[in-house]
């Protein structure tokens, strides 16, 4: 009786987490049906229940957790170069980490020819044009639910990683630190959680950084504003922090930080952004400060939105 009760409890927990990660409490859908089926089937082994729980509880776990998926490369498979073999391992591990793919986007992720996988793009390696590598991933608007396994770090030649408008949850793998050529990272409109993904601070080629509409929390490291980025989108998360004094060091053309919870002042260093900044949106953040006169230096700005805050004082004459 005790073992049966434990098994049922485990199944209910796994079903609940599957529901949170895949449907976000919205109800309905294939994931909810799968969860209901799991909860009614008490014949699953403890090992199977443990697998379900391990994969879904990543929604709440740190990125150093056990996130690997066992991938075996068939002896009959051949690859043009070792990098494409690594790409096969990475993509198959990711496929194992997917729990819902209603559009069957990854349905053709079969076999060694990874360059023909849907959403996967290959190109010559810039430093060695004779070498073909996986250079881009684009799974935007695929409605896929799952998590990002550590094996994705094997895609060390990626320049573009776009997965916006899906249902990925968990945290960003620390193995992303190996992707030194990454130029665009778009994780927006998913269900990622936890602290700011510090791994991006070590990506030397990153220019476009988009994590809006997720559930990241805590503070944003000031080092972000020292990176040579062109665009920063961190809006609609749960960040709570003071805008640092080095904010104006950022060379971005657009920065959107709306709908978080910031404190402190808009720093005077914002004037240092005059050569590059075109759009800045800080609306609905609970800012309680004056607007610094240095915004008058931002001659190229076309959008400056600090609405729905608690700003005090008068508008600086310099913006006239």
Q: Which domain holds residue 31?
A: 2-60
Kindly report the CA angle at 253 between 274 and 193, in degrees rounded to 5? 125
- Whether 22 shows a pLDDT value over 70: the answer reads no
Co-location of 81 and 192 in the same domain? yes
Three-state DSSP class for residue 134: strand
Q: What are 55's two structure tokens?
A: 């994969």
Co-location of 233 and 145 in the same domain? no
Q: What is the mean pLDDT of residues 84-98?
A: 95
pLDDT reported for residue 136 = 98
pLDDT per residue as tens digits for the range 25-77: 443 333 334 443 443 344 445 554 455 445 545 444 444 445 566 899 999 99
Co-location of 91 and 183 in the same domain? yes
Phi, psi of 43 (to 5 degrees): -85, -5
Nearest to 243 by CA among 268, 214, 278, 208: 268
Co-location of 116 and 45 in the same domain? no
Name beta bridge partners: 122.
134
Q: What is the share, in percent, of the chain residues with pLDDT greater than 90?
A: 68
| Between residues 169 and 19, the one the model is more confident about | 169
**In a domain? residue 92:** yes
Q: How many CB atoms lie within 10 A of CB 26?
A: 11
**In a domain? residue 205:** no
Q: Are 208 and 185 in contact (CB under 8 A)?
A: yes
C-alpha separations of 116 from 108, 123, 135, 162, 256 in Å? 8, 12, 13, 17, 35
Q: What is the mean pLDDT of residues 135-155?
A: 95
Q: Which of 12, 28, 60 is the last residue of a domain?
A: 60
Q: How many CB atoms lie within 10 A of CB 4?
A: 9
Co-location of 101 and 148 in the same domain? yes
Co-location of 33 and 9 in the same domain? yes
pLDDT reported for residue 46 = 59
Global confidence as pTM: 0.82
Residue 176 CB burial class (10 angstroms; 0-12, 13-18, ≥19): buried
Co-location of 128 and 53 in the same domain? no
Q: Are 184 and 205 in contact (CB under 8 A)?
A: no
**In a domain? residue 204:** no
- Whether 169 shows a pLDDT value over 50: the answer reads yes
Which range, of 45-49, 88-92, 173-177, averages the lowest pLDDT?
Answer: 45-49
Q: Give the whole-angstrom CA distance, residue 34 versus residue 18.
A: 9
Q: What is the CATH number of the domain that holds 250?
A: 3.80.10.10
Co-location of 169 and 267 in the same domain? no
Helices (H), the chain: 2-23, 29-40, 46-56, 82-96
| Between residues 132 and 65, the one the model is more confident about | 132
**In a domain? residue 56:** yes
**In a domain? residue 181:** yes
**In a domain? residue 309:** yes
**In a domain? residue 94:** yes
Q: Give the whole-angstrom CA distance, residue 284 versus residue 306.
A: 7
Q: Which of 198, 231, 253 is the last residue of a domain?
A: 198
| Between residues 9 and 57, the one the model is more confident about | 57
C-alpha separations of 300 from 97, 234, 275 in Å? 45, 22, 7
Which range, of 62-76, 190-204, 275-289, 290-304, averages the lowest pLDDT?
Answer: 62-76
Co-location of 149 and 91 in the same domain? yes
pLDDT reported for residue 319 = 72
| Number of separate domains in the chain | 3
Co-location of 164 and 121 in the same domain? yes
pLDDT reported for residue 39 = 38
Q: Which of 134, 167, 198 is the last residue of a domain?
A: 198
Instruction: Report the relative pairing of strands 208-210 and 184-186 from DSSP bridges.
Output: parallel
Co-location of 74 and 49 in the same domain? no
Considering the chain, what is the average pLDDT of its residues? 84
pLDDT reported for residue 41 = 40
Nearest to 221 by CA among 179, 250, 184, 252: 250
Q: What is the mean pLDDT of residues 286-306?
A: 90
**In a domain? residue 183:** yes
Co-location of 7 and 125 in the same domain? no
């Amino acid at each position: 009786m005790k073992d049966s009760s434990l098994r049922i409890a485990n199944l209910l927990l796994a079903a609940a987490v599957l529901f949170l990660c895949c449907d976000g409490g919205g109800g309905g859908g294939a994931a909810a049906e799968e969860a209901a089926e799991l909860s009614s089937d008490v014949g699953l082994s403890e090992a199977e229940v443990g697998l379900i729980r391990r994969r879904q509880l990543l929604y709440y776990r740190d990125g150093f957790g056990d996130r690997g998926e066992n991938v075996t490369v068939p002896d009959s498979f051949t690859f043009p170069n070792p990098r494409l073999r690594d790409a096969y391992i990475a993509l198959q591990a990711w496929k194992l980490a997917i729990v819902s793919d209603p559009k069957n986007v990854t349905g053709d992720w079969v076999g060694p020819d990874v360059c023909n996988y849907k959403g996967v793009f290959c190109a010559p390696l810039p430093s060695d044009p004779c070498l073909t590598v996986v250079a881009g991933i684009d799974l935007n608007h695929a409605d896929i639910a799952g998590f990002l396994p550590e094996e994705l770090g094997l895609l060390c030649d990626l320049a573009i990683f776009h997965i916006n408008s899906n249902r990925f949850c968990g945290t960003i793998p620390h193995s992303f630190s190996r992707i030194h050529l990454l130029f665009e990272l778009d994780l927006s409109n998913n269900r990622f959680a936890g602290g700011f993904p510090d791994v991006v601070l070590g990506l030397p080629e990153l220019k476009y950084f988009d994590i809006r509409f997720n559930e990241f929390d805590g503070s944003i490291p000031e080092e972000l504003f020292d990176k040579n980025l062109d665009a920063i989108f961190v809006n609609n998360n749960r960040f709570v922090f003071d805008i640092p004094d080095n904010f104006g060091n950022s060379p971005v053309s657009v920065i959107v930080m709306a709908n978080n919870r910031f404190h402190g002042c808009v720093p005077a260093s914002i004037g240092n952004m005059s050569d590059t900044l075109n759009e800045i949106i800080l609306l609905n953040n609970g800012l309680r400060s004056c607007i610094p006169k240095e915004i008058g230096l931002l001659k190229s700005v076309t959008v400056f939105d600090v609405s729905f805050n608690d700003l005090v004082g008068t508008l600086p004459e310099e913006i006239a």
